Structure 1
Amino acid sequence: TSILSRAAHQTCITRAGIRLPVGVSMKAFITVVNNPNEDGAAPMVLGTFRTGEATLFSWDAAVQKARTVIYYSRHDFLNFGVKVAMSVRCVGFLAQCNYPPGIDGNSQGPFNGQQERFSSLLGNHCDPAGIRFDPTSANVNPALPNGITIFPGAFGLYRNGVLVGAIGISGDGVDQDDIAGAAGCHDFLAPFAIRSDEFFLRGARLPYAKFPRDPAISCQ
């Protein structure tokens, strides 16, 4: 419960990015899943908590985020020779149409198009007109029963250097979700040596977390 309570406390003292009036605290769904440590097995939801009137659809997104972290942190998809502790922010960074993101004309990131495939969508968000839904798609992964998401707000939970689970946050701006998720990891931090921001791909350092500037408010 310390994971949920630390994250919930952080939402209470973090200024919302999408709510009015300006200065109210963020609201979010906080979800913790396990690491099944088995290919084809979906991480189970171990606990969840809703702060305030967090949007209901954020429940699904929080679970997606946590499961996304487990999936990409359990495998060495980038051939670094080590299983990198990936946040969802890192997964999203690697899933853009141009890599590094923001530089037109670059080739796509290595994870580009995976969000669509794992969600039974045929096509690519770089060409929205060509996307269609196919519920019979062979790309449905049993380890990701509700697909993946590439929006920040989730981190792996590690005990003695071993990935044991993940926390996912959804309900406000992605930087706000990141700071609440990081607070929940307080006693289960990823080893610094394997965090994604210790690695470079195509000359760009991979991100791990990003927090809002001056986020703190008095608890509402």
Structure 2
Amino acid sequence: MEETIGVTSAAQIPKQRGEALQDSAVRYAEERHWDVFPGAWLESVDGTWRCSCGDAGCPAPGAHAVRDDWPTQATGSATVARRLWAKQPNASILLPTGRTFDAIDVPETAGFLALARMERMELTLGPVTCTPDRRMQFFVLPGAIAKVPDLVRKLGWPPATLDLVTLGEGAYVAAPPTRFGASGAVQWACRPTAANRWLPDAEEIISPLAYACGREARRR
């Protein structure tokens, strides 16, 4: 079951309900052919949610890798994914970037502004996540991490001035319905569908993203 939460006239976040983490992880591997691996999870300690890693100051409670060799643990096999989450049903779902997709990470306010512009421009989008720490990740074809800095410069923006980060090889994103900290779960701003199976190149969407991040930088 999904419930949509109104955010802007241009975008609504589909909220997933009642779907087990294991089912989601298996579906990502089976239907999207994304590699997945289990990460940390949240535990209730004296009525307070804490990260399973045990670090009271964990910067990403419930949504980070727990093993240094996570790149070798990540799997695109639905069977293996089912087995991994059977061992720890509460584990977060983490998706490595730099394999079947890269991700462009921006502040939520800039992300929704960019989504509105992309809608007007009739651009084709891939999946987009929205996290409880108010970030959004736009899925694009692999190789974006090498392209984006030059693309941003050509648009007239010094990359260091924008809160825009490209995640490629060696990084990962948390996938819905992973809970992140005490404020909620990762959700889809643009959920995976048959229509967006083919991802855009970073060059196709970088202009509205850079513009939105530039506006956000000036506002701050």
TM-score, normalised via structure 1 length: 0.29
TM-score, normalised via structure 2 length: 0.29
| Greater helix content | 2
